[in-house]
Amino acid sequence: MAEHPIKKKGLGRGLSHLFGEAEAAYRVSAPEAPAAQQAAAGGGSTLPVAFLRPGRFQPRRHFDEAALEELAGSIRHHGLLQPILVRPVAGQADAYEIIAGERRWRAAQRASLHDVPVVIQTLTDSQALEIALVENLQRQDLSALEEAEGYKRLMDEFGHSHAELGELVGKSRSHVANMLRLLALPDSVRTLVQSGELSAGHARALLTAPDPEALAKAVTARNLSVRDTERMANAAKDTRKPSSKAAPTPASGKPVAKHADLLALERDMTERLGLKVTIEGHGSSGTLGIVYKSLDQLDEILAKLSRK
């Protein structure tokens, strides 16, 4: 697998500048020189793979095994063409934390490389976090949830707006906003998205469903497309529209008064959610309806339902 160059949009003299200088320095460094002699900050050097360790700020939680093997095969034939950005571990000799390039480091070990090209920089925790997140977000193989969580960390840690995030990683403001909405999904649905059983398109369609978990189970069981999922979500909303009419009894078909317990439960849930709630009971089964008048209210409902 060919390694993808890091995009330079929005980074100025940031990450792309670090790698640009380092690649030039690495090309002219003497391979036989000891690593300690090549480790000037900001310069290109090589270090034993054993000196490197995974970074604390890595947003990626899953490394695809097949993709790692493919990258390892490429490294065996062509070497590791792009250096790994690292910082020294304070108080420890021959120990470096990976800031950007953990996937390349893992593949290099599989390719049985002893030394790898590196860029050694002295970075604060804040700098390391932002670089690690931006570098990974600019690549195309993060999962939808890893991408969303990366955006949230950049917002929480650095106060970036949606527009600033989009400029930073070369995405549109609407793309950033849509990805962040995925974090409102219930945990069970997020697990399906993380595993790849549901796509980001499926997840966005599920956000509008009255019961995302139930619909997610149906989508995965029937292998439905995103368009089918959108239709089912819309249909579920239509069937759950509240009605002021009394529910008919199965036997006579005549309207009957709603049970006092259901009315009390409706009032209680309406007060708790701050939105109109209706419950229609039919014996041991029934339907629950929540009325919202804007997407902001829908997002609020989903956040409350997914909150532990």
Cβ neighbours of residue 150 under 8 Å, at least 6 residues apart?
Answer: 59, 133, 136, 137, 142
CB 162 within 8 A of CB 177: yes
Check 97, 102, 147, 266 and give the catalytic one: 102
Written in H, E and C, the secondary structure of 52-120 is EECCCCCCCCCCCHHHHHHHHHHHHHHCCCCCEEEEECCCCCCCEEEEECHHHHHHHHHCCCCEEEEEE
The tokens for 160 are: 């970036």
C-alpha pair distances (Å), 120 with each of 29, 83, 97, 125: 14, 10, 10, 15
User: Is 65 assigned a catalytic role?
Assistant: no
What CA dihedral angle connects 219, 222, 224 and 228, to 10 degrees?
A: -80
Which amino acid is present at 189?
A: V
Which has the closest alpha carbon to 116: 127, 124, 125, 104?
A: 104
The tokens for 163 are: 């527009």
User: Could you give the 3-state DSSP secondary structure of residue 257?
Assistant: coil
Q: What gap in Å lies between CA 221 and CA 240, rounded to an integer?
A: 23
C-alpha pair distances (Å), 129 with each of 59, 120, 151, 205: 9, 16, 12, 31
Q: What gap in Å lies between CA 304 and CA 234, rounded to an integer?
A: 21
Residues involved in catalysis: 102
